[in-house]
Amino acid sequence: MKRFAICTVLFPLLLALGALCMSELTHVKKDVLSSVDELYQAVESGDTAQAGELAEEFQQHWENTEHHIMAFVRHGE
């Protein structure tokens, strides 16, 4: 009976944790894609000053969010 009670507590917690992780990953993905799209538009328009500034912002943003994505991406040596 104790095992059943433990399972009924752990299963919803695991589901909630999985949903939270997927939500965070989706949020990070949208942020990264919008940053890349903004950078692409600046490059296409020929505004090199803005493109350089956006590239620096993107690099800083990537360094801050890389650990969120790497937990879910397969990677090797």
pLDDT of 46 reads 87
Burial environment of residue 34 by CB neighbours within 10 A (0 to 12, 13 to 18, 19 or more): exposed
pLDDT of 77 reads 64
HEC-encoded secondary structure of 6-27 = HHHHHHHHHHHHHHHHHHHHHH
Mean pLDDT by 10 residues, the chain (77 residues): 90 94 87 89 88 90 80 69
pLDDT of 10 reads 94
